[in-house]
Structure 1
Amino acid sequence: MTVRTVTTEAGRVSGDHTDGVARFLGIPYAAAPAGERRFAPPGPAERWAGARIATSYGATAPQPQLHPAHANLAPLTGPGWVTGDGDYLNLNVWTPDPGSSGLPVMVYLHGGGFMIGSGSAPAFDGTSFARDGVVLVTVNYRLGAEGFVSLPGGTPNNGLRDQIAALRWVRDNIAGFGGEPDNVTVFGESAGGTSVALLLRSPLAAGLFRRAIVQSGHDEMARRLEVTEELTRSLAARLGTSPTADAFRALTAADLLRAQTALLRIEPRPDLRDGTGVDPGHGRALFLPTTGDEVLPDPLGAASAHSLGVALLIGTTLEEANLGFGADGFADFDADDAVAELAATYPDAEALLDRYGLHDPSVTPGRALTSAYTDLMFRSPRRRTARRHPGPTFVYEFAWRSPLHGAAHGLDVPFVFDTTQTCRDLIGGAAPSGLTRTMHQAWVAFATHGDPGWPAYDDTRIAMQFDAGPHLGEDTAPDDIRSGG
C-alpha cells in the first residue's frame, strides 16, 4: 500500500493506493450541520491545515437503528449512525489514478427511505468501478427530520441541498482525482434513485451532471409544502415544542429520532395523503422531499426543460416489495387485512387488489398486496417517469430471482457495483457471474459515453431484462394500475 495526496479547495487529503485503486474516504464536502447550520442549507467545508488522513470512513447521518428482522440488509444500509466528529456531510472517492485526467465520474446517492443509510455501506465499494476506469464517489446527506422538515427560520429539502452541494464539490474538485468534471453521472437506488429523479427537475442541480441513473426510484415521491408543514407540526407536538428552526435546534438529534419513530407507530397516524387520496410515502416513509421551494418548484409529474440534454437510465426490480415494505408481515393476512392495509394510503383499495388476485383461491391476500405494492410504489411510477423524461432514455428491469427474496428491492445494487461476493447474505448465496459482469459493464458504458448497450426507450417501449440470460423485451410495467391502465 502506498499513500497518495490530492489537493482540494478545503485542503489536502491523503488516501491509500492498493492494487491499482486509490481510496480517499470521509472527505467533508460541506460544513457540519450543527448549531445555526442545522435545518439550514449546507455551508462550505471548513479549511484544514496539512494533509487530512482520508483512509477510513467518516461519520454518518443521525438515523434509527435497523430493525433486527432486516439484518441481512446491512450490506445496503451500512453501519448505522456513526457519530464520529460530527462532520457527516462527507463523501468517499475511488479512482484508478489521481494523476490521470479525463476519466468519467459516477456519484452514488444511497437509499434507505430518506431515513437510514450511508455512502459507506459494503455494497457500494467503488473498487470495481475504479478498476474499470471510472472515478466513483459515494455521498452522505441529511436524513429524516434533520434533512426534510419544513420550519420557519429554516429551509425545506436540506437533504437534497446536501446532494447538490456534493455535486458542486465534485464539479470543483474531482479533476484532482483524475475525473472529468464535464462527464458526471449521478446515480442512486430507492430513496437515492428518487433523489436523482428529483434532481433532474431541480433548477439548482442544472448543469451539475450529464447523465442520470435511477434504480428503483421515480419523480413522484415528494410531498406538497403544506403537507410537510403539517407533518412538522405533528412532530413538534410530539416533542412538546414549537415548529420553528430555533426550537428544533434546541433538541438533540436523538430526541428527533425518537419522536420520528413514534409518529410511525402511533394510531391514528398523521394523514399524509395528497389531493388524490394517495400517500407518496406509502405509509412507511415520513419525511420526503418537498415541492414548492427553489429546489423543487415544479409540481409532481412535470418534465423539466433543463434536463433535456441529460441521458437517463432507469429501471426497477421485478418483485420490488418482496423485501421490506411490510412484506414480512403480510403472510397471515386475510382479504380484509390486505384491503385495510392498502386503504390507509390509497383509494379504491379492494378494486385495485382484485386486479392482483385478492379473491383468487390460488393467490394469497399477502401475495396480492405485495404484487400491488410493487407496481404502485415502483414499476408504474418508473414507467411514467421514463415516458416524460425529455432527454434520451433507456429502461431496464432486474428479473433474476434470488433463493431468499426473489427479484426484490435492492438486489440489483451488488450486481451494479460488482460486490456480490460481499453481499452473499443478502443474495442468498452465489450470484451468476455473467449477470454481474453484464450489469456492471452496462453502467460503466453508460457513464462513459451515454449508451448502456441497448436501444433507447422510444415508442417501442423496449427494455433490457437482466436475468441469468439478459435479453431485450417489452416493458411490462403498467402505466397506472389505479385506472387499470
Structure 2
Amino acid sequence: MDVFTTKAGQVRGRRSDRDPGIVTVRGLPYAAPPFGAHRFREPRPAEPWDGVRECTAFGPVAPQSAELPGAPAWSPGDEDILTLNIWAPADGPGGLPVLVWIHGGAYIFGSSSQPDFDGTALAARGLVVVTLNYRLGFEGFGHVPADGEGPACPDNRGLLDQIAALEWVRDNIAAFGGAPERITVAGQSSGATSAACLMAADRARGLFHRAVLHSAVNACAPADQAARTTAEVAAEAGVPATRAGLLAASPQALVAASDRVVERYRQDPGSGRRHHDPALYGPVADGTFLAADPLEAAAAGAGAEVELLVCHTTEEYWLLDAVGSSAEITTNRQLTAFAEDFGLPPQLVDGYRDRLPDAPVRDVHLALYGDLLFAEYSSRLAETHARAGGRTFLSRFDRRRGGQGQRVRAWHCADIPFAFGNLHEESVHFLTGGEPGPADHELSHRMADAWAAFAAHGDPGWDALSGSGEATAVRVWRTAGEESRRTDTFRDLWGAAGLPLLPP
C-alpha cells in the first residue's frame, strides 16, 4: 500500500494512471485553512489527524474567478486551500532531488491541479515533484492596513504560504524518497517571480538550493501602490479600506470587486500602465519581508548562493493578446501613448520598428511589451545573478508551429508542457498548436532531461554565464528543422537605451 508517514499523520496516495511506477499523493495539507479568525494572517501548521488520510484527489483551489481547462474551479466556502501534491518513484532509493513547482497566473488565478503540471514524467526521471496551492488575489497579496488591534496582517501572504510549503517539504519529504538538502524551487510567470522573491527573502534562506525561473514577470509593487489598490478594491466592494472593513467582505466579494476594478482600467485608455495590463496584485516591497524588487536584491548579492536556471520565450506577449488580456494597440498614436505611459524613449520604439519593418503596429507593440514584462526582465535577472557570483544558466524557448493564418508562436506558457513532458494533455493544445509530432516529443524529452539534470546536479547541459554576466552561453529550445532560423531578440536596443525596467 502506498502509505506515507508525515509529521501530522499518515497519508495514502495512489499509482499514477500514466506510469504505475510513480505514486501520487494529492490534496495533502501543508498549513491550516487561512480563513475565519485567521484570515489575512500568516499561515499556521495543519492540524494533525488520526488514522490514514486519503490523499487521492486534488485539494480546493484558492479564491479566484478564473475557470481553467481541466482544473477545478473555486467554490465559495472552500477553505482548506493550502495543500500540495507529490509525485515520486514508488520504489525510489531515497535521497532523490526534489522539484517544488509554484504555478503562475498573475497572482490572481491558477492552481497546482492544472493538467500541464502533472509531475509523472519528471518523477520517472528520478525526481520527487511537489506542486502547491497558495493564496491569490487580495487574500494572498492585498494590503490590509494596521489598526492597532489584533495580530498583524502581513503583506505577501501568498509568499509566506510558499515558505510554509517549503518548510513542510524540508520536514517531511524524506518520507516520500526526497532529500531535504536537494530542493529546487521552480515556477513560471508570477510563479517564477515568486521564486525570485524567495531567493531575496531572508525567511526562505536555506529552504532551497537551486531555482528554475520561466518567464519571470516584471511586477513588484511599492507599499504605497499596494495601499492605493486596497482603497480601490474596498470602495468597489462597498466596505471601508480598514482591517475590519476588509474582514467583513467575503472572499467572493473581494474577487468580484477586484475584477470590476480591472475592467474599469481596461475600458479607460487614459489610466496609464494599468490600462495595458491591469495586474492589481503581486509581491509588495514592504521593507521587511521583501526589502526590494528581486532584480535590485540580486544586484546586491541576495540569493547568490542559489544556483539558477532562467528561461523565457521569444514571443511572450502574443499569448496575452490571443486570450484578450492585452489592450488593443493598432495605431502609431496608440503605440506612442503606450511608450509614454511606461517612460520608454522614442529611440527604443523606433528600434523595434526598424527591426520589424513589415510588421503591423500590433506586432511591434506585442514584441516591445513582452520584452518589457518578461524577456528583458528574465534575462537581466540571470545576468545580474551571475555578476553577483551566482552560478547561472540562461535559455530561450523559440519553438513555433503552423503556417500563415494558423501560426502558434513561441509565446507565454508554451514552454511549460514541454518541460513537464505533458504534451499529450488536451488542455495544453491551445498553447502548443494541437497534437504533438515526433519532433515535439523529442524537444520535450530534451527540456525535461535538462530540468532533471539541473535539479539533480546543477548542470542542465550547457555552459553557465560568465562572471561578468555576459549572455554568451544561451540555450535556444527549438524542434528539429528549426535550428537555422534566426532568433529575433532586442537586447542591444535595451542596452543602448540604458533603461531601468518599469521606471517610477
Question: 1:306-455, aligned counterparts within 5 Å?
Answer: 306-325=302-321, 328=324, 333-344=330-341, 346-348=342-344, 351-357=347-353, 362-389=358-385, 390=388, 391-403=390-402, 404-422=407-425, 423-429=428-434, 430-431=436-437, 432-455=440-463
How high is the TM-score relative to the length of structure 2?
0.86
- The structural deviation recorded for 1:326 is 6.8
- The structural deviation recorded for 1:340 is 3.5
Q: Which residue of 1 aligns with 2:48?
A: 47
- The structural deviation recorded for 1:427 is 1.1
Alignment identity in percent? Answer: 37
Question: 1:15-414, aligned counterparts within 5 Å?
Answer: 15-18=13-16, 19-66=20-67, 74=69, 78-82=71-75, 85-97=78-90, 100-153=93-146, 154-217=153-216, 220-266=218-264, 283-299=277-293, 301-303=296-298, 305-325=301-321, 328=324, 333-344=330-341, 346-348=342-344, 351-357=347-353, 362-389=358-385, 390=388, 391-403=390-402, 404-414=407-417
- The structural deviation recorded for 1:83 is 5.2
Cα gap change, 1:156/1:376 in structure 2, threshold over 3 Å: closer, same or farther? same
Structure 1 counterpart SS, 2:2: strand
How high is the TM-score relative to the length of structure 1?
0.89
Q: CA offsets per residue over residues 239-264 of structure 1, 9 Å max, x none?
A: 22222233212111110011101111
- The structural deviation recorded for 1:100 is 3.6
- The structural deviation recorded for 1:338 is 3.1
- The structural deviation recorded for 1:149 is 1.0
CA distance in 2, matches of 1:252, 1:190: 28
Amino acid at match of 1:104: P
Provide the aligned length of Structure 1 versus Structure 2. 468
Structure 2 counterpart SS, 1:182: strand
Amino acid at match of 1:131: A
- Contact 1:319–1:407 (CA under 8 A) maintained in structure 2: yes
Cα gap change, 1:24/1:307 in structure 2, threshold over 3 Å: closer, same or farther? same
RMSD: 2.8
CA distance in 1, matches of 2:271, 2:220: 11
Question: 1:470-481, aligned counterparts within 5 Å?
Answer: 476=489, 478=491, 481=494
Structure 2 counterpart SS, 1:323: helix
Amino acid at match of 1:415: F
Q: CA offsets per residue over residues 213-241 of structure 1, 9 Å max, x none?
A: 000005x4201111111111121122222
Amino acid at match of 2:330: F
Q: Bigger shift: 368-377 or 292-301?
A: 292-301
Amino acid at match of 2:349: L
Amino acid at match of 1:221: A
Structure 1 counterpart SS, 2:396: strand
Structure 2 counterpart SS, 1:324: helix
- Contact 2:95–2:179 (CA under 8 A) maintained in structure 1: yes
Cα gap change, 1:97/1:406 in structure 2, threshold over 3 Å: closer, same or farther? same
- The structural deviation recorded for 1:482 is 8.4
- The structural deviation recorded for 1:483 is 5.6
- Contact 2:314–2:489 (CA under 8 A) maintained in structure 1: no
Q: Gaps (5+ residues) in structure 2? A: 147-152, 499-504
- Contact 1:98–1:177 (CA under 8 A) maintained in structure 2: no
Cα gap change, 1:388/1:271 in structure 2, threshold over 3 Å: closer, same or farther? farther
Cα gap change, 1:111/1:97 in structure 2, threshold over 3 Å: closer, same or farther? same
- Contact 1:383–1:477 (CA under 8 A) maintained in structure 2: no
